[in-house]
Amino acid sequence: MTVTEERAFLHGLPGVDRVGAEERAARLATRSIKASAKAEAIDLAISMVDLTTLEGADTAGKVRALCAKAAHPDPSDASVPAVAAVCVYPDMVEVAVRALAGTGIGVASVATAFPSGRAPMEAKLADTRAAVAAGAAEIDMVIDRGAFLSGDYVKVFEEIVAVKDACGPAHLKVILETGELATFDNVRRASWLAMRAGADFIKTSTGKVSPAATLPVTLVMLEAVRDYRAVA
């Protein structure tokens, strides 16, 4: 794959109608849901959450407390399901793995110079391998937005491929940092690029940049997943 070929493919994707996307997202937000369906949806959402702490002040005690909350989100109501995973920095993976032993809850870890994504490739891969070796079942990487916005799609693609390989048995979630991508067209292109490169999941943002996730951006990404699956 050449830069020209990847650019031609990504820029050949249909453009996103910003007004239309915002209107569709707004309509979806106003839909009424039956109480029983809402309760089921809330339980499903909880069971899919990555409960996360990504602060410089994180301690082993804080991570263990988060793991306890992950297993019992509401200690007063045993019917509330456990979350899917706990997400931490690589140096806290072992702590989380030990704390969650026997719960069935996974451990995810950010890597690849999160949240900036600015580091030599060797460092990104070492970061990834260390987290997996410590027991992470999922790696969350963030794309190089500078490369993407400069049109160096092949660099972004090849980095995702390399990190996916370094993940071994772990899943790879690719974070687009949509607040820095500027346009819905870029969000759609980045979504397709990440999936074509082997991402198991795509995610809106690190939560470290404003704006982070928005309903219209999420809708654009969901439509990209739908369209990708239709042809993959």
pLDDT < 50 positions in the chain = none
Looking at the fold, whether 21 and 47 belong to one and the same domain comes out as no
pLDDT at position 214 is 93
Torsion of CA 120, 121, 127, 132, to 10 degrees: 180
pLDDT at position 35 is 82
Residue 89 within a domain: no
Looking at the fold, whether 157 and 175 belong to one and the same domain comes out as yes
Instruction: Report the C-alpha gap between 209 and 191 in whole angstroms.
Output: 18
Looking at the fold, whether 27 and 43 belong to one and the same domain comes out as no
Instruction: Report the C-alpha gap between 150 and 146 in whole angstroms.
Output: 6
pLDDT at position 29 is 83
pLDDT at position 148 is 96
Which pLDDT tens digit goes with each residue over 125-135? 999 999 999 99
- Neighbouring-strand partners of residue 5: none
Q: How many CB atoms lie within 10 A of CB 207?
A: 15
Instruction: Report the C-alpha gap between 162 and 171 in whole angstroms.
Output: 13
pLDDT at position 60 is 98
Which pLDDT tens digit goes with each residue over 94-131? 999 999 999 999 999 999 999 999 999 999 999 999 99
Looking at the fold, whether 26 and 62 belong to one and the same domain comes out as no
Give residue 147's domain range.
3-32+111-231
Sheet containing strand 106-110, strands side by side: 50-52, 85-88, 106-110, 138-142, 171-175, 201-203
DSSP state letter for 91: G
pLDDT at position 1 is 63
